[in-house]
Structure 1
Amino acid sequence: MLDIDEMSSKEIHELLHTVGYGHLGCIHEGKPYVIPMNYYLEADDIYLFTTIGMEPLHWRSVIVNGRALRVTEQADLDRVMHLVKERNPMLSPAINRTWIDSQGRSEAIAIYRVHETEISGRTTDGVSSKKP
């Protein structure tokens, strides 16, 4: 049986700073869906990057709840895109490619800022910050 322990705030933020990618869970017309995302963490805000469009035995997971707002100001978009590309240079080909989908939309990149209102983390690594 897996021993699942709560992570400390420090452990949570260390994991978020280390990983740089995650999944955004949403509800659309009453049905949940999850979108893989790259992100950049800045203070209590998380900037999510994506194109529009089972767990292993040992894992660590952080859930961040907050309000997501789409970043629309060009200066903010440029700043966050610079940070995203700096964090993950392999995204450059996907970022630089432009396309038009079947509905005529040509904007393929979306950036959201999530201001954290609640954060929690769990781990099966066997080291609990709650244990003595």
Structure 2
Amino acid sequence: MLGELTDQQMDELLKKQVTGRLGCHADGLTYVVPVNYTYDGKHIYAHSAEGMKVNLMRKNPEVCFEVDNIENIFKWESVILWGRFEEIEGVDEQQRVMQGIIHRLMPLAEKPDSHPSHGITANDSDIGTRIDLVIYRIVITKRTGRFERD
């Protein structure tokens, strides 16, 4: 049976998952990449080093984001949302968002010496010295959710 997720079910899926797929588009190039994130009920929060994804979102802040939970080919649920990329500039808000990301991701780390920017740099100490971190939110403007159950 195919169906639509309720608002509550979409919120639950967005809060339960930690990795989604971010789609961005500019200059004739579409780019989809997995990102770790947190969700507060209104926004998706994430971080990244400077690179293709950030450059594309700066040129065109309209993005798409997808999260799913797939148990098997006939039992899955998915949320797709659209929104606007916004860089977080204030130091206090950057710290608050990073603490949220750390608290959400670190309990899932397999190695006790891991850090939340492991995909960006091998060393936590590189952040802010060798590599600048871009902390951002997606302001959600529209979303839809679907499921299939056997």
TM over 0.5: yes
1:53-132 equivalences under 5 Å are 53=51, 57=73, 58-89=75-106, 90=109, 92=115, 94=118, 96-98=124-126, 106-107=131-132, 109-126=133-150
- Measure how far apart 1:4 and its partner are: 3.0
Q: Is the 8 A contact 1:67 1:115 kept in 2?
A: yes
CA–CA separation in structure 2 for the residues paired with 1:121 and 1:82: 28
Count of paired positions: 117
Alpha-carbon deviations, 1:50-107, whole Å to 9, x = none? 4445x851322111111110112111111111111111113616271527xxxxx731
CA–CA separation in structure 2 for the residues paired with 1:22 and 1:66: 14
Q: Is the 8 A contact 1:5 1:123 kept in 2?
A: yes
- Measure how far apart 1:122 and its partner are: 1.1
Aligned to 2:12: 14
Matched, 1:25 2:23: yes
TM-score, length-normalised on structure 1?
0.76
Relative to structure 1, the CA distance from residue 4 to residue 33 in structure 2 (aligned partners, 3 Å threshold; closer, same or farther) is farther
Greater RCO, 1 or 2 (C-alpha within 8 Å, sep 6+): 1
Runs of 4+ aligned residues of structure 1 deviating over 4 Å after TM superposition are: none
Matched, 1:45 2:68: no
Gaps of 5+ in 2: 52-69
TM-score, length-normalised on structure 2?
0.67
CA–CA separation in structure 2 for the residues paired with 1:81 and 1:14: 21
CA–CA separation in structure 2 for the residues paired with 1:123 and 1:78: 36
- 1:9 alignment partner AA: D
Identity over aligned pairs, percent: 30
- 1:106 alignment partner AA: I
Q: Is the 8 A contact 1:36 1:50 kept in 2?
A: no
CA–CA separation in structure 1 for the residues paired with 2:135 and 2:3: 32
